[in-house]
């Protein structure tokens, strides 16, 4: 059966109609994604969903199913979006934000086999040259500068004033990017993740800015990730999409991780106060967030290679199969409960298999350093609003907050606790 965008397309091989796809977009889903994941699990380990208006696919919502998909790529599942029948036939809604996040790109994320191995090798060798001690020092310096901007006020929005700009400024330094150009790149990346914006325009602006950075570094190489990627032999087309991939992976998801961890530290009695005294290390708070609130909630689109079934679920070829990292990590069948996951790195927040995150240690350095500086410098940190007033970002692809208003003891903006 050919794929198309109508929900009536969902029929099993035997012609028995499947459950109507549940939306993983919109206000109700954003307010409580886990309620939708629970409904989907009642249908099976992999269930049909509406990814965005008029865009349909499947979502893996159990830990076993997610791991099966990720570990069987590319043997049974392909990353190549050209297998997406509705995309091939031009039957997707014009300007769909989901399409911008899932369309073919010349980077490692969307490739299989030797091409994937070549492009991933360029990434891993380039990121391996990042000095982790220098990175931690840079993040600490940037964090102190940001905090000093609001330390005397006694109040701040830790999303717009801290968690959002910190990874952005860090990526700009890592990639040797001029500040104005870096700002253009990361703002466009954020617009792609927030699936309610003009995604096509954001994508065009992002690609133009990444090409500009590649050209700049070909003329003036430095000791930065962009220069290392050029040295690995990537073409301009590959440079555009690889820069886009790495900055995209390192900015908005890192912002969400920092925000979600700060919220946990401030509001959860298991962590509030204990990280200040050292009873619980910040790494424990990060582990809890990576399990319960992974910054990338649903992604990693895959496509079946031939006819595929999993635990009685027939997966129709031509439809994208997304992995819900959030649903998988929150799977009630896992043999432990929330709150007892400190030190357990079995979560799927960094994915798994051949397409797993190539540098999870760098992500943790950025996030832990950001948390450490905030906890050290913002004495008496409390939420400034009722927790029920916090608003989630569009949750189709990522999990974060639009704002995190806080109060704390005012301090001199020139105070920094350098290490």
From residue 323, alpha-carbon distances to 44, 157, 219, 258 in Å are 14, 31, 40, 22
Place of tokens 């206000």: 27
Length of the chain in residues, anyone?
419
Q: What region, left, alpha or beta, does residue 15 occupy, with left being phi > 0 and alpha being psi -120 to 50 degrees? A: left
Among residues 396, 399, 416, 406, which one has the least CA distance to residue 98?
A: 396
CB 104 within 8 A of CB 238: no
pLDDT (0 to 100) of residue 189:
78
| CA 253/CA 245 separation, integer angstroms | 12
Residue 310 tokens read as 């999993």
- Rg of the chain taking only CA atoms, in angstroms: 21
> 336, 318, 301: which is closest to 104 by C-alpha?
301
Which helix (H) or strand (E) is 292 found in, with range? helix 282-292
Which of 327, 302, 329, 304 has the alpha carbon at shortest distance from 317? 304
Q: Mark 198-228 as b/e (b = at least 16 C-beta within 10 Å).
A: ebeebbebbbebbbbbbebbeeeeeebbbbb
In this predicted structure, what is the pLDDT of residue 269?
77
Tell me the pLDDT of the chain (419 aa) as tens digits. 333 445 555 544 333 345 689 999 999 999 999 999 999 999 999 999 999 999 999 999 999 999 999 999 999 999 999 999 999 999 999 888 889 899 999 999 999 999 999 999 999 999 999 999 999 999 999 999 999 999 999 999 999 999 999 999 999 999 999 988 988 887 887 777 765 557 788 889 999 999 999 999 999 999 999 999 999 999 999 999 999 999 889 988 999 999 999 999 998 877 766 555 555 678 888 999 999 999 999 999 999 999 999 999 999 999 999 999 999 999 999 986 655 565 677 899 999 999 999 999 999 999 999 999 999 999 999 999 999 999 999 889 999 999 999 999 998 655 544 44
75 to each of 301, 302, 323, 351, how far by Cα in Å?
15, 12, 17, 17
The two beta strands, 155-157 and 77-78, are unpaired
Alpha helices in 149-198 (DSSP H): 165-174, 179-193
Q: What is the pLDDT of residue 95?
A: 80
Any residues with CB less than 8 A from the CB of 84 and at least 6 apart, and which? Answer: 3, 102, 301, 303, 318, 319, 320
In the chain, the domains with their CATH numbers are: 1-97+297-343 (3.30.43.20), 105-286+349-419 (1.10.630.10)
- At 360 the pLDDT is 94
**Among 418, 383, 410, which Cα is nearest to 136's?**
418
Q: Give the C-alpha separation, 55 to 5, whole Å.
A: 6
Could you tell me which residues are beta bridge partners of residue 313? Answer: 310
Q: Do residues 373 and 93 lie in contact, with contact meaning Cβ atoms separated by under 8 Å?
A: no
Beta bridge partners of 58: 48, 321
Residues 6+ apart with CB under 8 A from 42: none
Helical spans, DSSP H, in 17-129? 27-31, 33-43, 63-71, 85-88, 97-102, 113-128
How far is it, in rounded angstroms, from Cα 217 to Cα 211?
A: 10
Rounded Cα distance, 66 and 207, in Å: 31
CA distance 264 to 55: 34
Tokens of 173: 């330094």
Number of neighbouring beta carbons within 10 Å of residue 229: 24
Residues 298 and 37 sit within 8 Å (Cβ to Cβ) = no
Could you tell me the pTM of the whole model?
A: 0.90
What are the φ and ψ backbone dihedral angles of 383, each rounded to 5 degrees?
A: -70, 140
pLDDT of residue 418: 44
């Amino acid at each position: 059966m050919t794929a198309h965008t109508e929900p009536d397309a969902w029929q099993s091989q035997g012609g028995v109609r499947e459950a109507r796809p549940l939306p993983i977009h919109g206000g109700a889903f954003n307010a409580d994604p886990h309620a939708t994941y629970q409904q989907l699990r009642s249908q099976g380990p992999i269930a049909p969903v509406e990814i965005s208006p008029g865009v349909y696919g499947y979502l893996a919502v159990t830990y076993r199913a997610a791991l099966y998909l990720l570990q069987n790529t590319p043997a049974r599942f392909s990353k190549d979006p050209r297998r997406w029948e509705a995309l091939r036939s031009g039957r997707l809604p014009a300007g769909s934000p989901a399409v911008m996040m899932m369309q073919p790109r010349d980077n490692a994320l969307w490739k299989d086999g030797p091409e994937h191995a070549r492009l991933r090798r360029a990434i891993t060798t380039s990121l391996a040259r990042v000095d982790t001690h220098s990175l931690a020092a840079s993040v600490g310096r940037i964090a102190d500068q940001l905090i000093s901007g609001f330390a005397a006020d006694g109040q701040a929005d830790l999303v717009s004033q801290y968690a959002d700009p910190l990874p952005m400024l860090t990526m700009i330094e890592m990639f040797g990017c001029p500040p104005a150009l870096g700002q253009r790149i990361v703002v466009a990346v954020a617009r792609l993740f927030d699936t309610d914006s003009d995604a096509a325009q954001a994508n065009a602006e992002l690609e133009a800015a990444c090409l500009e950075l590649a050209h700049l570094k070909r003329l003036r190489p430095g000791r930065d990730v962009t220069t290392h990627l050029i040295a690995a032999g990537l073409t301009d087309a590959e440079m555009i999409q690889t820069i886009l991939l790495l900055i995209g992976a390192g900015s908005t998801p890192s912002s969400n991780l920092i925000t979600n961890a700060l919220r946990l530290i401030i509001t959860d009695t298991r962590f509030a106060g204990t990280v200040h005294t050292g009873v619980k290390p910040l790494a424990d708070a990060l582990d809890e967030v990576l399990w319960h609130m992974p910054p990338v909630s649903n992604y990693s689109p895959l496509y079946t290679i031939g006819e595929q079934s999993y635990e009685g679920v027939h997966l129709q070829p031509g439809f994208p199969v997304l992995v819900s990292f959030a649903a998988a990590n929150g799977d009630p069948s896992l043999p432990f409960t929330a709150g007892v996951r400190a030190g357990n790195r079995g979560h799927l927040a960094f994915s798994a298999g051949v397409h797993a995150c190539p540098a999870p240690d760098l992500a943790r350095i950025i996030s832990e350093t950001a948390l450490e500086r905030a906890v050290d410098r913002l004495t008496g940190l409390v939420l400034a609003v009722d927790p029920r007033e916090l608003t989630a970002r569009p949750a189709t692809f990522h999990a974060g907050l639009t704002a995190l208003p806080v109060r704390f003891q005012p301090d001199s903006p020139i105070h920094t606790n350098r290490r």
